[in-house]
Structure 1
Amino acid sequence: MALNAAVALGSMFFGLVALFRPQAMPGRPLTSPGSQMTQPSEATTYFARMYAARAVPFGIATAAVCILLPSQAAIWLLAAGAIELLDAMVVASRNPREAAPPLLAVVVHIGSAVWLMTA
């Protein structure tokens, strides 16, 4: 459960990066016309904020469930794994190598959920 909590907090960290530094997001974020790669475009900022709006509270909640209610975490971990799989698919469409962190989270969350459900 500690590994699941750490992975969830890692996802939350990337949500915070998206919120405060959208230009640091993976996949070559779009820049505003005329900028020198310093100002993210309105679309990049919008979607980074949307990602953060989901990643930050869900990462905190997933970590809390893993630490405080580990015997009841299976369904939560399945949901977390599904979200990370969708994140990986989005990232992989622009740069497949950058999909490795969310794919690792998929393996950890789904693997743990299966283990909890069969133990």
Structure 2
Amino acid sequence: MSLWLAALNAAVAMVSVGFAVTGVVAPAALAGSDAVASTRYYAAMYAARAVPLGCAVLIAAFLSISNGAWIVLLAGAGVCQVGDAVIGLWRRIPGQVAGSVLVGTIHLASMTHLLATK
């Protein structure tokens, strides 16, 4: 994968990690309402997926991994973002939808580029 594309994917993955950590530390800031025990629980569950996956994309940007490994990693990250966008639509949170669509598009378009140039 090209350096600029790896850097772009790493940057948007770190944005996802930032939101995941914010969700755990200050869930009311993202939920738009008071945080209850279930809010904290689900924020932690989201972070348990988003933090390792985002960090894996960041680490991959600094390593010389194969395009096949990038394809698998970006497919996972992209599908997770699509799921986040669906949840945002269901909960009517436009910012979550827009952010997830943007990040998911970058991951999945990068994956598609790698598949096309394979």
TM-score, scaled relative to structure 2: 0.85
What is the RMSD of the two structures over their aligned residues, measured on CA atoms?
1.4
1:16 paired with 2:16, answer no
Larger-Rg structure: 1
Report the more deviating stretch, 12-21 or 90-99.
90-99
Equivalent position SS for 1:90: helix
- What residue number does 2:10 align with? 5
Name whichever structure is richer in helix by fraction. Answer: 2
- What residue number does 1:66 align with? 61
Gaps spanning 5+ residues in structure 2: where? 1-5
Taking the TM superposition and a 5 Å limit, the aligned residue runs for 1:1-119 are 1-26=6-31, 28-29=32-33, 31=34, 40-68=35-63, 69=65, 71=67, 72-98=69-95, 99-119=97-117
Contact 1:74 1:117 in 2 (8 A): yes
How far apart, in 2, do the equivalents of 1:74 and 1:67 lie? 16
One-letter amino acid of the structure 2 residue matched with residue 16 of structure 1: V
Contact 1:4 1:109 in 2 (8 A): yes
Q: Which string of whole-angstrom CA distances, capped at 9 and with x for unpartnered residues, describes residues 44-93 of structure 1?
A: 11111111111111110122123312633011101110000001111121
Runs (4+) off by over 3 Å: none
Q: Sequence identity of aligned pairs in percent?
A: 33
One-letter amino acid of the structure 2 residue matched with residue 19 of structure 1: V
Contact 1:85 1:106 in 2 (8 A): yes
TM-score, scaled relative to structure 1: 0.84
- What residue number does 2:3 align with? none
